[in-house]
Amino acid sequence: MNAHDPKMSADHSNEIGMYEKRKAVFPKATDGAFRRFKWLVMAVCLAIYWGTPWIRWDRGPYAPDQAVLIDMANRRFFMFNIEIWPHEFYFVAGLLIMAGIGLFLVTSVVGRAWCGYACPQTVWTDLFQHVDRLIDGDRNAQLRLQKAPWGPAKIARRALKWGIYLGISFATGGAWIFYFADAPTLQTEFWTGTAAPIAYATTFVLTMTTFIFGGFMREQVCIYMCPWPRIQTAMLDEKSLLVTYKDWRGEPRGSVKSALKAATPLGDCIDCLQCVAVCPTGIDIREGPQIGCITCALCIDACDKAMADVGRPRGLIDYCTLDDAEREKRGETSVPILKTVFRPRTLVYLGVWSGIGLALLFALGQRERMDISIAKDRNPEYVTLSDGSVRNAYTLKLRNMESRPRTFRIELRGLDNGTIYTDEMDSTAARRQLTVEVPSDTTKPVRVYALVPRGSAPAEFALVLVATDKEGGTDISETTFTTAQGNGQ
């Protein structure tokens, strides 16, 4: 990458190995506005991740009381007072589309903000780097320890650090399973060894991925494995805010001392390398925008501190668009921040994003908590009875999506001389309306026969499901009635 020194490579061109060893990164601790913002985001993200499964939500006696629950066995998704059935999965698809467009929106405004602040890989890597500092000390101490030969002290430190890594990883992997079952019950089962094997397998796999990705692979995941940075570079344009080293102000760089000796005035960059030292992916932002930059903005904090120390204005490294960079180079003023953020492209994204969101909310408010669907028997299509009347059979699926048992009425609409009865009734009791009890939160299959007297023609008709309780509600589904006449016999 850009880290290659051309001269070095030229000298050793015959010695390029097949594989490149990772250059370990030991980011220095820093403080500043962006570091504090990252602390906040980390705290919020981790609190949401670990806390959510433990929130309780009363849904009455027939439904689970966990606020967020993906109930695979019963094929239900609970989210506070929303309950999603498999046939309503388009809500989840809609949320995913919103997440996608939301990323486009954020990326077009502030570049790789997702990578820099909210991505789990970033959050957990950040967490593990704090562990590094806690156990091994800051950057220089870590570098020393890395170079030090293996001895009792180093082994002890490594064992302690990796143990903490493993503890965090286990807590991470273990928390995931609580989204899929009642958390307090599963926790008891987990520790008593009675939980489902899949719970242990999932915990193990996610513990190991957290341990390896967060503890050891770190920035390599972002640079080599993750497709999102590559896609994001296509989402950026010249009006997106990027972490930018303002080279027109900083160059030529040189220390304060060398500036005093220099014949021509030097730029503001004092070449203190603080921006490189704090970078969690180990790049030099002064080489310009690059794939390794996750825009965590820690170099802005570091540089601001250095500038304050030497009494120069802050913002040598700062969020800046490519357009503004050109302007500032020419000595013009930059575009106001609001104008940068609210431009046609971002407004279109915002419009689409909120449009889908509103449509989903509207659909959520409109949906009936009951449903009828009809599957007509195709084999045989019709049955002629001995008195010449014709019978068709249908399998009805009656969905009661409320968490209480309900009584429904099935009404026959159309098929003027027809009657209906179920397979649990005698055909002599056939009539135009039936009453069915459906237990809470279930789909009840009901087999219904429709009967018409001899000489009737094929017809289309509808079955209407009516809730007889005070909440009411109806759903209607159409089907066809077949007779021999329909087959040209």
Partner 1 sequence: MSKPRLDDATGVETVGHEWDGIEELNNPLPRWWLWSFYACIVFAIGYSVVYPAIPMLDTATAGTFGWSSRGDLDKEMKAESVRTAAMRSELDQASIEQIATDPRLRRAAIDGGRAAFKVNCIQCHGNGAAGSVGYPNLNDDDWLWGGDAAAIHQTLVNGIRQPGDDATRMSMMPAFGRDGILTAPQVQDVVSHVRLIAGEEKPSASAQRGAELFTANCAVCHGANGEGSRAVGAPKLNDAIWLYGGDRKALTQTITNARYGVMPSWGNRLDPVTVKMLATYVHSLGGGEAAPAPAADPAAPVAPVAAAQ
Where does this chain bind partner 1 (CB under 8 A)? Answer: 4-10, 13, 16-22, 217, 220, 224, 377-380, 383-388, 391, 393, 423-429, 449, 454
Q: How many CB atoms neighbour CB 294 within 10 A?
A: 28
- Which of residues 135 and 463 has its CB atom nearest to partner 1 in the complex? 463
Q: Which two tokens stand for residue 202?
A: 């999932």
- Which of residues 118 and 425 has its CB atom nearest to partner 1 in the complex? 425
Min separation Cβ 216 and partner 1, Å: 9
Min separation Cβ 380 and partner 1, Å: 3
- Which of residues 87 and 454 has its CB atom nearest to partner 1 in the complex? 454
Min separation Cβ 465 and partner 1, Å: 21
- Which of residues 4 and 330 has its CB atom nearest to partner 1 in the complex? 4
Strand order in the sheet with 433-438: 433-438, 406-414, 459-467, 474-481
Min separation Cβ 384 and partner 1, Å: 6
Distance CA 129, CA 26 (A): 8
Q: Which two tokens stand for residue 362?
A: 């509207």
User: What burial class does residue 416 get, using C-beta atoms within 10 Å of its C-beta: 0-12 exposed, 13-18 middle, 19+ buried?
Assistant: exposed
DSSP string, 425-467: S-GGG-BSEEEEEE-TTEEEEEEEEEEE-TTPPPEEEEEEEEE
Min separation Cβ 70 and partner 1, Å: 28
Distance CA 29, CA 49 (A): 25
- Which of residues 130 and 447 has its CB atom nearest to partner 1 in the complex? 447
User: What burial class does residue 19 get, using C-beta atoms within 10 Å of its C-beta: 0-12 exposed, 13-18 middle, 19+ buried?
Assistant: exposed
Q: How many CB atoms neighbour CB 5 within 10 A?
A: 9
Min separation Cβ 483 and partner 1, Å: 12
- Which of residues 182 and 381 has its CB atom nearest to partner 1 in the complex? 381
User: What burial class does residue 404 get, using C-beta atoms within 10 Å of its C-beta: 0-12 exposed, 13-18 middle, 19+ buried?
Assistant: middle
The residue written with tokens 């929106």 in the block is 105
Min separation Cβ 430 and partner 1, Å: 10
- Which of residues 423 and 469 has its CB atom nearest to partner 1 in the complex? 423
H/E run at residue 371? strand 370-376
- Which of residues 181 and 396 has its CB atom nearest to partner 1 in the complex? 396
Min separation Cβ 432 and partner 1, Å: 15
- Which of residues 378 and 470 has its CB atom nearest to partner 1 in the complex? 378
Distance CA 173, CA 196 (A): 15
Nearest of 301, 300, 283 to residue 292 by alpha carbon: 283
Min separation Cβ 428 and partner 1, Å: 7
Q: Which two tokens stand for residue 475?
A: 């759903």
3-class secondary structure per residue, 373-429 = EEEECCCCCCEECCCCCEEEEEEEEEEECCCCCEEEEEEEEECCCCEEEECCCCHHH
